[in-house]
């Protein structure tokens, strides 16, 4: 058989092999997340100043998306799902040197909710 006639078959086999390697190797290159995130604009349903020494700079808050204009957009690659935030709430920093929370129930908050995905710290924080 002529070597030139074999060239298209060889090219097809090579392309097929390369495509198969890409398809099957894809999952092994899964993205790992240092933190999970979601963009949020929502109303607070309740907020309480924390008194534990390690958390005394924070308030624990819960949100509602029932207010017009609310958004909750989980990050596409490293999502922080709403059900995790809704059940446990999230931490909001107090104003510097303050004992009381800087927000009250009914206030609208806006920012990014973050959670460390590499440690056992399950706390979610509001980054304003």
Same domain as 39, residue 22: no
Model-level pTM? 0.73
Q: Which two tokens stand for residue 90?
A: 């999230």
Number of domains comprising the chain? 2
Same domain as 60, residue 115: yes
Same domain as 2, residue 41: no
What residues does 79 pair with on adjacent strands?
A: 37
Expressed in angstroms, the distance from the first to the final Cα of the chain is 71
Same domain as 85, residue 119: yes
The domain in which residue 8 lies consists of 1-30
Q: Which of 78, 92, 85 is nearest to 126 (CA)?
A: 92
Same domain as 101, residue 39: yes
Same domain as 50, residue 25: no
Same domain as 53, residue 110: yes
pLDDT of residue 21: 46
Same domain as 99, residue 55: yes
Same domain as 42, residue 1: no
Same domain as 94, residue 63: yes
pLDDT of residue 117: 85
Distance CA 90, CA 6 (A): 64
Same domain as 64, residue 7: no
CB hemisphere CA count around 63 (13 angstroms): 27
pLDDT digits (tens, 9 = 90+) for 6-43: 556 555 455 455 444 444 444 444 568 999 999 999 99
Same domain as 109, residue 83: yes
Q: Which two tokens stand for residue 66?
A: 């029932």
Residue 10 burial (10 A CB sphere; 0-12, 13-18, 19+):
exposed
pLDDT greater at residue 12 or residue 88: 88
Max CA distance (Å), the chain: 87
The answer to whether residues 37 and 78 touch, using CB atoms and an 8 Å cutoff, is yes
Q: What are phi and psi of 60, to 5 degrees?
A: -95, 125
């Amino acid at each position: 058989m002529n070597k030139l006639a074999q060239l298209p078959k060889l090219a097809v086999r090579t392309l097929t092999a390369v495509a198969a390697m890409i398809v099957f190797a894809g999952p092994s290159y899964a993205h790992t997340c240092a933190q999970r995130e979601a963009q949020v604009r929502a109303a607070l349903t309740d907020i309480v100043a924390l008194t534990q020494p390690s958390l005394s700079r924070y308030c624990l808050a819960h949100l509602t998306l029932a207010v017009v204009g609310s958004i909750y957009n989980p990050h596409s690659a490293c999502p922080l799902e709403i059900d995790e935030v809704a059940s446990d709430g999230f931490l909001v920093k107090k104003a510097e040197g303050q004992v009381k929370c800087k927000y009250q129930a009914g206030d609208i908050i806006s920012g990014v909710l973050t959670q460390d995905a590499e440690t056992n710290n399950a706390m979610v924080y509001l980054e304003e």
